[in-house]
Structure formats: structure tokens, C-alpha cells
Structure 1
Amino acid sequence: MTVSTPMMVTFIVYILGMVLIGFIAYRSTKNFDDYILGGRSLGSVVTALSAGASDMSGWLLMGLPGAIFISGISESWIAIGLTIGAWLNWKIVAGRLRVQTEHHDNALTLPDFFSSRFEDNSKLLRVISAVIILVFFTIYCASGIVAGARLFESTFGMSYETALWAGAAATIAYTFIGGFLAVSWTDTVQASLMIFALLLTPIMVIIAVGGFSDSLQVIEAKSLENLDMLKGLNFVAVVSLLGWGLGYFGQPHILARFMAADSHRSIRTARRIGMAWMILCLAGAVAVGFFGIAYFQNNPAQAAGVSDNAERIFIELARILFNPWIAGILLSAILAAVMSTLSCQLLVCSSALTEDLYKNFLRKNASQRELVWVGRMMVLLVAVIAIALAADPNNRVLGLVSYAWAGFGAAFGPVVLFAVCWSRTTRNGALAGMIIGAATVLIWKHYAWLGLYEIIPGFVFASIAIVLVSLMGRAPSKAAQQRFAAAEAEYNAD
């Protein structure tokens, strides 16, 4: 038996398990509502773990540990910013969005919600938000496919081109078959696998180096700067890293989990579960990269893999330190992270194409069965485009994610916040915020002014635009304000 055979068996069993869940979900998918939001039936645990798993892509096990390995503990500012942003998203947005979407024509998608919430009869909001979703999510999907390709390339010695298709195939299969329920149920399994891998691996790395204090001594001996939270960072750099947290308010694949909860009452419990899971996973990812410095400093002969690409550090540590069968389970966690996020993104793109464009502009009277099958076809279409974008082997996961994350955070984040918190927000205000947020990200990214992460100016300018344009225009109709007030009263009733 070769070293890779146990890993191959583990991967195949894992993938078959995910596809089986897809077939089970297929039997529970009766209409397009089920395919897109699972009939709003998710309990607290599934809502929490599905939101977490859909959030933390391959970036969690590849991008973040790789950044820590290269730069030291200073890169953990990203994790701090994400933790704060996620908590605020659960606290401010989650429950309100669940109630507001139900009060506004039982909206199934973000464009659907914007269109109803702001009484946009022109459908301009729906079209622009759907286009933004398609542009940035296709880039985001590409990042997931790159992460999966790296995993298959490193583990099985495949060419990058072959690994692209191998990594994407299973995710496409269960998303295509089972829709939202398959994605949410598999997310729960995948979140459990991810936290197991991220807690076990750094413990084994520390033991292999000789203990916690010995590990710190080795890291300090290599470079004292590895322990410096401000290594190479000025004020702008720290703000940029913390600014990642702003992205949560506008991520459609995470917001969809809130919309799918069985009630807003489930959100409180889900928040506690979700935040505990997230903090432990982020701490584990930081620890993998940080203590990996000590391991490869002591074992330079084994460092070839991470020298070529630091984002492979988790993969290399799992292969070196664990029995091949256990390593196979741990490396499946990367596949879990990739699959959980990629499946959510494919589904959101599919819903934007099907619900917001196909149904509204081409086939208003389409049957539920037709919409489900169009949704499945759209999953395939977006996946193929994302694979084409991911074809460049020089792609880096963190770079692709940061661009898409900023795009959504600036374009949708302020609009979502004002939509659920300020009844005076108007259609034109939301439209101005969306366009200015997206445009700022695109322009700022190109010119890289001040070295500031583009999500921050995008978020600020979009928020200012929403307030100014809303106040300058006519107030929303009495009916719109009554719907908002009724939803807010229901949210505050408990």
C-alpha cells in the first residue's frame, strides 16, 4: 500500500458521504423555495455551523496559516477583525434580516429582499445586485477551486489542470442534486471536521517540537519579530487587517443562512454556537501557521513543500506528523472548507440567475419544477466559468478571497445594515450605496491608494451615499414604513 492510498480511500469515502447527503436532500426538495432556502427550516445548530462553514473557506486552512507562517503573529489581526465583525453581524443583522425578509414578500434572495423592501418597481436594484453577486462570487468561487486544486495536487501528485476538475466535481455534484438542504446538512458535517482538524494539528505540532515553551523559544530564536503583533505594520496596515470584519454584513452566502433559520428566536442560540466554533477554528488556524514556524525551523529538510508555497503548510504538517489514515481525515477538512463555501456560493449565484433574472424577466409564470432545474443548470454554468478563472496555477487563495470579500462587504454591507435598521432608507439611497461601494472597491484596488484595504473606503463612502441620497429624496411610502415597523416589532417582541 502506498502512502497516498489511505488518503485516497479517506477522500473517496468522504466525498461519497457528501454526495449521499445530496441525494437525501433531493428527496426533501419539493419546490424552488426548498432548493434556494430549504423552506426556512434550519434549527440553531445547523444555522450556526452552516453559517460558519460557508464563511470559512479554504482560506481558513490554507491562506491564514500560510500568512502567519510567513509573517508571524502580526497577521492574526485579520482573525481579530473577523471575530468582531462576525459577532456584530449575528447581533445586529441576523435576527432582523430573518424577520424582515419574511415581511417583505417572503424574499428568497438578497436582490429579492432589496426589491421588495425598497418598493423598486423598476427592478433596477434587483438587476444591479444580481450582477454584483455574479461578478464577485465567480471570483470567490475561483478561490475555492484554487484551494481544492492545491489540495489534490499536493496530496495525489496530480497536475494542476487535473486537480482543478477533481476538486470541483464533488461540490458541483451535491449542490446540483440537493440544493440548499444538501449544502446546509453537509456544512454541518464539514464544520465538525474542520474544528477537529484545527484543534488536533497544532497540538501535535507543539508536541513534535518538544512542548509549548520549546516551540516559543525556537520561533523567538529564528526571529523575535515573529512574536511581534506590530511586525512591519503601521496604523493603516492594522486598520486594513481589522477592516476584514466589515465584510460580514454583505456576504450573500452567510446572510442566506440567517434568512433560512426556522425563526428569529433560533438566532440567539445559533450566535453562541457559531461564535464559539469560529473563535476555536481561527485560533487553531493561527496556531498551525505560528507553531509551524518552529517545526520547519527544526526540520529544514522537510520544508521544501512550504518553501514553494506557504499556503500548503497545513497539508505538509498533516502528511508529516500523522498516520496516513488520520492524515487523510485531516486533509479532508480542507476539502470540507472548500466544498462548504463553494457550494454556498454556487447556490447563491444560481438563485441570482434563476430567481432574479430568469423568473423576473424571461419566464414569470415558470413552474416550480422548471425553476429548480434552471437553478441546477445555473450551478453548472457558474462552476465552469469559475474553473476557467482558476486555471492560472499562480493564483493565490488569499488574494482572490480578499478582492471578492471587499466587493460584497462594500456593495451590500451598508445597504443590508440600513435596510434592517433604518426605516427612512430609500430605493435611490440603496442604489447609490450599492454602486458607489462596488465602484470604490474596483477603483481603490487598482490604484492601491495609501495601502488601505479597499473594503474600508468602499464601506464608508457607500454608507455616506445611502444617508445623503435617502435624506434628499422623498421618504418611503407609508406601506413600506408600516412593513418595516411590523417586522421590527416582531423581532423585539421576544
Structure 2
Amino acid sequence: MNNQNMYVVGATFLVYLILMLGLGIVAYRRTKNLSDYILGGRSIGPTTAALSAGASDMSGWLLLGLPGYALVAGFEASWIAIGLLTGTWLNWLLVARRLRVYSHAAKDSVTMPAYFSHRFNDKSHALRVISAVIILVFFLFYTSSGLVAAGKLFETVFGLDYQLAVVLGTLAVVSYTLFGGFLAVAWTDVVQGLLMSAALVLVPVFALNAIGGIDAAHAAIAAKNPELLTFFNDAKGQPLGWIAILSLLGWGLGYFGQPHILARFKAISDEKEVPKARLIAVSWTALTLFCALSVGWVGLGYLQTDLADAETIFMVLVDSLFHPVVAGILLAAVLAAIMSTADSQLLVSSSALAEDFYKAILKKDADGAELVWVGRGAVVLIAILALLLALNPDATVLSLVSYAWAGFGAAFGPAILLSLYWRRMNRSGALAGIVLGGLTVVVWKQLSGGIFDLYEIIPGFILATLAIIVVSLFTAEPEQIVLDKFDEVEHKLA
């Protein structure tokens, strides 16, 4: 990109960042207590909830990781999209309404650790502390993936040193999250979600037009490697085994345990709005996943030479196909994708420190204003730690996301699902499932070969589910107060 075009793109980025910061300042004026800061006072509507959940879910992975994988693997990448779309639908169908109602009934729990603690009347705080530790550990990797994506964006577009680019991306994300909290994150997510979807539609359409249409693109890919056009073979022509297909579909299991996505369910203003939000969320996810895959597939036909980094394909196509002003807007979509997830992750992590460590353990009488400032300090601390992890230029967005996604999905997914539907589940079962699910992911990730090539979320999810059921059945029934609360919520949901 020449200097003149770089200045135009840079000006577009600056306008976009000013807009996001402005939303953060407006949200700051409406943030009075911790519930406002963490969940926006449970006041967001269905459209905001749906787009915010989608935008915070997909991150820079949607515009960098998935198109890059589609560029390298061809139609094989469809299996991930199928798993993710199914997971999105099931999460909104099975979890959203029940979690909104139950988290409010469980002493208005604004964080996931607080929900587990109040759901099972855990006076020892073991559930709360262990859940918070898992959130902090895996969100360091997840947030780092967003900062890596930011580094690649600024490095590719502006030719900056990678490490300087990561620092600039971190400052951009922290700026409005620090002040506005959940409302700033939710409002900016709506803008970012719309921008991401528009960019993902435009880029493959213009690229296809430049190639000469779908038939021309198909012929160009077939000439390079016909195996990229198959669903059941890999790029080398080897059949995809059941381990590979299950591993790709298994990404859908992760949705049930993602704290930053589940927070949107708790924040929706009325549980009766969930069906409307579900329709919007699933439609947005279907559109953006298909278009992200199309960016990679069309890129296969468009490029004359291979890219050194496949995860830059979206940015390369934008730079090649569009006027600098339009390119600046479309590249801002990458920044939007990064910011929309990293801000949510920072917010959930800070809430774990403020609500589940500081208030629950250190200072039980801390008031709302004090906790908000503790949360803001935690945002800065966690951002610095994630930044240090992201400074490694060899890190890839997809690998960091896959590890964190598996960790949350296995540790929290079964516990959330069963806690919402199974009356007999108790504190000991919840604790066993959360610990075993998280540990399985960590251990399985270090092993390879044979069954250990299976994506770690699947064994983690299965073992966590079994642990919850077995331990709950072989230990004492929940206390009567816990059973009464479950019955009360079931009556309200009926």
C-alpha cells in the first residue's frame, strides 16, 4: 500500500476509533454500579443482544482465522462452520431464556462464578474461586488472539513493526472498555457486527466479479488443486477420518460455556424477547460464516501466488480490489471484529477479579462504585498480561482461539446445561465437572497421535458431563433451599 493510500486508510481508522470512544463516554455516564458495568443493568434489547453476542463471539477469527483456514483447506473448512452454526442455534434455544431467568433468581448473579455459587448455595466459595481462575487463565489466551489479530492488521496495512502494532491494538480496545463497561461494549458491538457482515459480503462478491464469476473461480481452484473442492478429503487428497470431522464439528460444543457470550443472555431486558433475538443471532451467524469461508475460497481463485500468511487473505483482497476510502472502511471491519471480542473478554475477566475475588474474598462490604473502579483496574492489568502473550510474532489467531474455546466449552458447558435442567445436580457435581473439564483440555492438548488428535473440547465435554452426573448421584442431594429455588424457576419458565 502506497503512502497516500495508507494515509486515507489511517484517517478512516481514526474516525472509527473516535466513534467507538464516543459511545464509551456516553455509556460511562450511565454506569452507576457493578450491575451496570458488567451487564448494563440487564437493559439491552433483543437486536442489541443478538448482534452483540455474535460480534463478541466471532472476533478477528472470523475475518482472519476462518478465511485463512478456508484458503489452505478449501471446502474442508465447511465442517467448522456447520458446527458453529448448530452450536449458536442450540445455545440460544437451550440456554438463553433459562439462564436469563435463573441468573436473576440466583441473587441477581452478574458473573458466571457468582451464578454457580448462588445456584448451589456454595458457602465455601470453592465454585466461585475455581470458576474465576479458569476464566482468567483461558481468557488470557483468548484475548491474546485478538491482540495478535490486531498486530497482523496494523503490520499488513501500515507496515508497522509487529510488536508496536500489537501495542496500538491493545490501546484501542482498552480505551472504551475501561470507561463504558458493558453498555459501551454492547453498543459498539452492534456497530461492529453490522460493519463485519457488510465487509464479509462485499469482499467475496467483488473478488468473484474480478475473477469472472463462480465458474471461473471454480476452474482456477481446480487447476491449482482439485482436492480443495472436496468436503471429505483434505488438501493432500487423503480422506478425512472421523477424528478430523468430529474435531471440526466439535467447535459447536464450545458455545454453552463461553462467559462473554452467556453474559448477553443474562443482560437481555426480558426473557420473552429471546426468540426474536435467537432469529437475529442465527441469521447473522449463518451469513457471516458463509461469507468468511467464501473470502478464503474466492481468494484461492484470485491469487496468483501463495501468501506467506494465509490469515491475511481478507486484507490482501481489500487492498487489491477497493479504493482507499472504501478499503479503509472495510479494513476497519477487521478492527471491529477484534475489538468486539477482546473488549468483552476483558470485561468478563475484570468482573471475575472484582466480583469473585475482591468482593467475595477480600472485601465483602465493597460498594458498587468501588467495585466498578476495581473492575477498571483489572481491565488494564489483564490487557497488559494478554499483550505480553501476544508479542510473539509466530502466534496464530486460530490456534489461540481453539485452545481457549475448548477450555471454556469443556469446563463450563456441561455445568451450565445441567444446572439449568437437572434438579438433582449438586455443588460437588458442579465442582467435579468444572475441574475435570478444564484439566482434560489442558492435558489432552499436550498429547498427539491416534485418539489424541481429537479436538480436546470433545473428551473434555464428555468427561465433565459424566463427572457431574456420577458425583451428584453418589453424594448428598442438594439442600432444600436449592431445590425450592429450582422449582420456583421451573414454575416461572412453564
TM-score range normalised by the length of the shorter chain: over 0.9
Corresponding residue SS for 1:36: helix
Question: Contact 1:60 / 1:285 at 8 angstroms: preserved in 2?
Answer: yes
Q: 2:124 — aligned with what?
A: 122
State whether structure 2 residue 109 is matched by structure 1 residue 107.
yes
Q: 2:353 — aligned with what?
A: 353
State whether structure 2 residue 285 is matched by structure 1 residue 278.
yes
Once residues 214 and 416 of structure 1 are traced to their aligned partners in structure 2, the CA distance between those partners, rounded to angstroms, is 48
Q: 2:439 — aligned with what?
A: 439
Q: 1:269 — aligned with what?
A: 276
Corresponding residue SS for 1:3: helix
- The two structures have a TM-score, normalised by structure 2, of 0.97
Q: 2:91 — aligned with what?
A: 89
| Matched pairs, number | 485
Aligned 1:128-139 pairs, distance under 5 A = 128-139=130-141
State whether structure 2 residue 257 is matched by structure 1 residue 250.
yes
RMSD: 0.8
What amino acid does structure 1 have at the position aligned with 2:18? L
Q: 2:397 — aligned with what?
A: 397
Aligned 1:204-223 pairs, distance under 5 A = 204-223=206-225
Q: Deviation at 1:45?
A: 0.2
Q: 2:230 — aligned with what?
A: 228
Q: 2:237 — aligned with what?
A: none
Deviation by residue 1:40-89 (Cα, 9 ceiling, x = unmatched)? 00100000000000000100000000011011111121010001111100
Corresponding residue SS for 2:387: helix
Once residues 233 and 397 of structure 2 are traced to their aligned partners in structure 1, the CA distance between those partners, rounded to angstroms, is 23
Once residues 269 and 423 of structure 1 are traced to their aligned partners in structure 2, the CA distance between those partners, rounded to angstroms, is 28
Q: 1:22 — aligned with what?
A: 24
State whether structure 2 residue 297 is matched by structure 1 residue 290.
yes
Aligned 1:77-476 pairs, distance under 5 A = 77-232=79-234, 233-296=240-303, 299-300=304-305, 307-449=307-449, 450=451, 451-476=453-478
Deviation by residue 1:217-268 (Cα, 9 ceiling, x = unmatched)? 1112211111100122211100000000000000000000000000111111
Q: Deviation at 1:193?
A: 0.2
Q: Report percent identity of matched pairs.
A: 52
Once residues 308 and 219 of structure 2 are traced to their aligned partners in structure 1, the CA distance between those partners, rounded to angstroms, is 25
Q: Deviation at 1:486?
A: 1.4
Mark the runs of 5 or more structure 1 residues left unpaired by the alignment.
none
Once residues 465 and 313 of structure 2 are traced to their aligned partners in structure 1, the CA distance between those partners, rounded to angstroms, is 39
What amino acid does structure 1 have at the position aligned with 2:256? F
What amino acid does structure 1 have at the position aligned with 2:286? I
Once residues 328 and 463 of structure 1 are traced to their aligned partners in structure 2, the CA distance between those partners, rounded to angstroms, is 46
Deviation by residue 1:262-299 (Cα, 9 ceiling, x = unmatched)? 01111110000000000000000000000100000xx3
Question: Contact 1:100 / 1:488 at 8 angstroms: preserved in 2?
Answer: no
Corresponding residue SS for 1:133: helix
Q: Deviation at 1:477?
A: 1.6
Question: Contact 1:57 / 1:144 at 8 angstroms: preserved in 2?
Answer: yes
Q: Deviation at 1:468?
A: 0.4
Corresponding residue SS for 1:475: coil
Which is further off, 367-376 or 273-282? 367-376
Once residues 100 and 402 of structure 2 are traced to their aligned partners in structure 1, the CA distance between those partners, rounded to angstroms, is 27
Q: Deviation at 1:3?
A: 1.4
Aligned 1:61-80 pairs, distance under 5 A = 61-80=63-82
Deviation by residue 1:350-370 (Cα, 9 ceiling, x = unmatched)? 000000000111111112111
Q: Deviation at 1:489?
A: 2.1
Q: 2:4 — aligned with what?
A: 2
Once residues 493 and 319 of structure 2 are traced to their aligned partners in structure 1, the CA distance between those partners, rounded to angstroms, is 49
Which is further off, 366-375 or 174-183? 366-375
Once residues 107 and 113 of structure 2 are traced to their aligned partners in structure 1, the CA distance between those partners, rounded to angstroms, is 12
Once residues 334 and 233 of structure 2 are traced to their aligned partners in structure 1, the CA distance between those partners, rounded to angstroms, is 28
Corresponding residue SS for 2:42: coil
Which is further off, 212-221 or 22-31? 212-221
Q: Deviation at 1:490?
A: 1.5
Once residues 175 and 487 of structure 2 are traced to their aligned partners in structure 1, the CA distance between those partners, rounded to angstroms, is 42
Mark the runs of 5 or more structure 2 residues left unpaired by the alignment.
235-239
Deviation by residue 1:24-55 (Cα, 9 ceiling, x = unmatched)? 00011011110011000010000000000000
Q: 2:488 — aligned with what?
A: 486
What amino acid does structure 1 have at the position aligned with 2:325? W
State whether structure 2 residue 57 is matched by structure 1 residue 55.
yes
Once residues 419 and 130 of structure 2 are traced to their aligned partners in structure 1, the CA distance between those partners, rounded to angstroms, is 16
Once residues 311 and 188 of structure 2 are traced to their aligned partners in structure 1, the CA distance between those partners, rounded to angstroms, is 25
Question: Contact 1:410 / 1:458 at 8 angstroms: preserved in 2?
Answer: yes
- The two structures have a TM-score, normalised by structure 1, of 0.97
What amino acid does structure 2 have at the position aligned with 1:37? L
Deviation by residue 1:355-414 (Cα, 9 ceiling, x = unmatched)? 000011111111211111110000000000000011100000000000000000000000
Once residues 214 and 123 of structure 1 are traced to their aligned partners in structure 2, the CA distance between those partners, rounded to angstroms, is 61
Corresponding residue SS for 2:425: coil
Question: Contact 1:240 / 1:452 at 8 angstroms: preserved in 2?
Answer: yes
Q: Deviation at 1:6?
A: 1.0
Q: Which runs of 4+ in 1 moved over 6 A?
A: none
Corresponding residue SS for 1:386: helix
